[in-house]
């Protein structure tokens, strides 16, 4: 119980500070406070576990510097990228090899001639169909002649359909 109540009290005080004072602080003050508390935490941790750090190997003592090294390396890389982007340095661009493409006449000649043959045969079939069905008109009547079977189209499509198609 002796560690629980002070911890709860400290937690409640931290909540009050965060809710009341921190929104009024600017980003610079917040960043400075975060760095100060981080350094205090690292120092307190190192002081609390000094015996364990002394008994560890020499490589383990370097682990504490790994985040700082990575942050510094990232900042240097970003600064270098910004300077490289905004300076007049030339970036070597390799030349693109020539692509040999066959002439359009040789590749599309056979395709276009076959498409033309298909279009002509469709046109001829449509003209033959229309000329064979010209005599089957409904003599100008709006609804046709229902009693007379001579004016029916005999289940053939109309000329307007062929013209639309």
For the chain, give every domain's residue range. 9-55, 58-87, 112-135+156-165
CA distance 79 to 73: 10
Quickly state the pLDDT bin for 52 (edges 50, 70, 90): confident
Q: Could you give the count of Cα atoms lying within 13 Å of 40 in the half-sphere of its Cβ?
A: 6
Measure CA 56 to chain center: 48
Task: Write out pLDDT tens, residues 102-138.
Answer: 666 666 667 777 787 888 888 888 888 777 765 555 4
CA distance 114 to 122: 12
What pLDDT sits at residue 139? 46
Distances (CA, A) of 9 to 16, 19, 22, 47, 140: 11, 15, 19, 24, 101
Task: Write out pLDDT tens, residues 54-89.
Answer: 777 777 778 889 999 999 999 999 888 888 777 766
37 φ, ψ to 5°?
-65, -35
């Amino acid at each position: 119980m002796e560690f629980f109540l002070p911890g709860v009290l400290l937690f409640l005080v931290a909540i009050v500070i965060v809710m009341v004072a921190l929104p009024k602080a600017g980003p610079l003050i917040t960043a400075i406070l975060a760095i100060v508390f981080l350094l205090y935490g690292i120092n307190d941790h190192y002081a609390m576990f000094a015996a364990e750090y002394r008994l560890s190997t020499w490589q383990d003592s370097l682990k504490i510097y790994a985040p700082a090294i990575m942050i510094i390396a990232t900042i240097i890389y970003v600064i270098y990228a910004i300077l490289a982007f905004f300076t007049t340095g030339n970036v070597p661009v390799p030349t693109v090899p020539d692509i040999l493409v066959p002439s359009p006449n040789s590749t599309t000649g056979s395709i276009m001639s076959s498409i033309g043959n298909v279009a002509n045969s469709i046109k001829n079939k449509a003209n033959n169909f229309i000329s064979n069905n010209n005599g089957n008109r409904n003599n100008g009547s709006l609804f046709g002649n229902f009693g007379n079977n001579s004016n029916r189209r005999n289940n053939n499509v109309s000329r307007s359909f062929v013209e639309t198609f």
